[in-house]
């Protein structure tokens, strides 16, 4: 196998791995019943005029399965953190206390669980589309190798290897999603 082909397959592997990691990160933001700091992952706080990720302005803890506590390093940010969490529209209401912002998570209804499973499936489908787009782009490059004189059997071998890599990452995406769905549906 020539050097270009190895680079292409390595690039595909890396990009597909990134797609699965992104899926895992996005699924981590979905609330499955127990509190997790990852639920606030997308929240940005107005930190003196700069939109800053919430985890960079304070500590995020989960004292129990139904609470998230944000303890800002700068007490002046309590109000801004509360507003940012509400603005993120995550489905829970923050309570600003003396030195922390406390979020008590309401119980998740069956309907909400099904809705979260749908979101998880949609995220999984986005990841699979990304994986397939990588495959398509690499297969186009492989076909160009054929035009530049690489033997047909080597091209077929590369195409098969590309499909094997694709199948591996599609399976990983399905496993990650299935695991998250079980977590969401379990009480």
Using 50, 70 and 90 to split pLDDT, how confident is the model at 41?
confident
Domain-ending residue, one of 81, 104, 127: 104
Amino acid 64: pLDDT: 87
> Pick from 9, 14, 28, 26: which is nearest to 125 by CA?
26
Q: What is the mean pLDDT of residues 24-42?
A: 80
**Residue 146 maps to which CATH number?**
1.10.132.20
**Structural domains of the chain, count:** 2
Tens of pLDDT, residue by residue over 85-99, are: 888 877 778 999 989
Q: Sheet harboring 58-61: ordered strands across? A: 58-61, 67-72, 101-104, 94-96
> Pick from 23, 17, 28: which is nearest to 169 by CA?
17
Spell 175-185 as b/e; 16+ CB within 10 A means b: ebbeebbeebe
Tens of pLDDT, residue by residue over 110-137, are: 888 888 899 999 999 999 999 999 999 9
Residue ranges making up the domain that contains 93: 37-104
Residue 36 has pLDDT above 90, yes or no: no
Q: Are residues 114 and 176 in the same domain?
A: yes
Averaged pLDDT of the chain: 88
Residue 147 has pLDDT above 90, yes or no: no
Amino acid 27: pLDDT: 86
């Amino acid at each position: 196998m020539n050097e270009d082909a190895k680079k292409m397959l390595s690039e595909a592997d890396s990009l597909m791995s990134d797609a699965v990691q992104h899926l895992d990160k996005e699924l981590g933001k979905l609330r499955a019943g127990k509190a997790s700091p990852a639920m606030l992952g997308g929240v940005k706080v107005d930190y003196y005029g700069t939109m800053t990720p919430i985890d960079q302005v304070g500590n995020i803890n989960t004292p129990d399965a139904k609470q998230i506590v944000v303890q800002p390093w700068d007490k002046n940010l309590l109000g801004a953190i509360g507003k940012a969490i509400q603005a993120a529209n995550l489905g829970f209401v923050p309570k600003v206390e003396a030195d922390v912002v406390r979020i008590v998570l309401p119980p998740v209804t069956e309907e909400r669980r099904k809705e979260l499973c749908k979101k998880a499936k949609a995220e999984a489908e986005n990841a699979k589309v990304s994986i397939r787009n990588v495959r398509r782009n690499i297969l186009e490059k492989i076909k160009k190798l054929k035009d530049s004189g690489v033997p047909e059997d080597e091209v077929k071998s590369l195409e098969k290897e590309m499909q094997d890599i694709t199948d591996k990452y599609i399976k990983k995406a399905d496993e990650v999603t299935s695991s998250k769905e079980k977590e969401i549906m379990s009480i």
